[in-house]
Amino acid sequence: MTIRFDNRVAIVTGAGNGIGKSHALSLAALGAKVVVNDLGGARDGSGGSLSAAETVVQEIKAKGGEAMANGANVAKYNEVEAMIEDAKKKWGRVDIIVNNAGILRDKSFAKMDLDDFRLVLEVHLMGSVNCCKAAWETMREQNYGRIVLTSSSSGLFGNFGQSNYGAAKAAMAGLMNVLHHEGQKFNIRVNTLSPTAATRMTEELLPPNVLQLMQPEAITPAVLYMVSENAPSRTIMGAGAGVYSVIRIVETHGVYFPPEERTPDAIAAKFAEISDMKTAQALEGAFQQTQKYVAMAAKAAGIDLSKK
């Protein structure tokens, strides 16, 4: 079965260049009607122009596809709300949102201005929240939605000089987890992409022979899968240089300590056992952790939880 997006309406933010442009072109090539959103600013978020988005729209239309350009600043909810309404007026629905827009303002934490920290959070985190929120009721009403959030290895694993970017990107996992649970009964599936590619955001960080292996087009197949009809949900996919992976947040089984042993020294003595990753598993929800802890404590105390 070939994955296609006929009669689906997709919004891709930050789609004027790089990875977002690749997503928009590919969705259109597979039948989607695409809102090409791009503020048209510089890498640090300054400035603005609709020309990049319009160029992508022209490319889509030249190949027989349907698209419209949009210059909304994703950090401003009223502009995002208007973008959603424009898409609905033109095509009647919104099925897919790919949150890709982002900026960089890198500095070590010691030297970073808090305004730069806040701005990166506003664009990456609140920009994604705004897009999801503005489309959420529409997706609930039509009983269909596919959302991709864009994280980063900088957030999931850490990278020097990117505390603002890393904090915003790590937050995508938490947002995904909750939206997955809240959207499940409305057939809204929410996934996260952790990409690495040669873009204007990475061109100064990597040597040319590495960059040539990391074309944005190699990222897009993961997104196309994650917004497809039979997509998974609550999945973090890594993608880069033609390699695709799944990233999971896991917890070790843990060790129960009776009250008299709950000391930092006791934890230090058993830390190897506590941190044994052979027992690790991915939990399906916050309460599952609570249930596990309570079950272990009750077993140690001889308490039968089946009795009220």
> Do residues 54 and 31 touch, judged by C-beta distance below 8 A?
no
Please name the helix (run of DSSP H) or strand (run of DSSP E) that holds residue 246, with its range, or none.
strand 243-247
pLDDT of residue 212: 79
CA distance 267 to 182: 36
Active site residues: 165
9-247 to CATH, choices 3.40.50.300, 3.10.20.30, 3.90.25.10, 3.40.50.720: 3.40.50.720
What average pLDDT does this structure show over 41-49?
A: 63
What average pLDDT does this structure show over 148-159?
A: 95
Q: What is the pTM of this model?
A: 0.93
| Residue 17: DSSP 8-state | S
| Residue 247: DSSP 8-state | E
In degrees and rounded to multiples of 5, residue 37 shows phi and psi of: -95, 130
Domain positions in the chain? 9-247, 259-301
pLDDT of residue 1: 62
What average pLDDT does this structure show over 116-127?
A: 98
Length of the chain: 308
List alpha helices for 35-162, DSSP H.
Answer: 51-62, 77-91, 114-121, 127-142, 153-156
Show the CA angle centred on residue 135, arms to residues 130 and 138, nearest 5°: 155
CA distance 107 to 105: 7
The confidence band for 197, taking pLDDT boundaries of 50, 70 and 90, is confident
Based on its alpha-carbon atoms, the radius of gyration of the chain, rounded to whole angstroms, reads 22
Taking the C-alpha atoms of 16, 18, 22 and 28 in order, what is their torsion angle to the nearest 10 degrees?
0
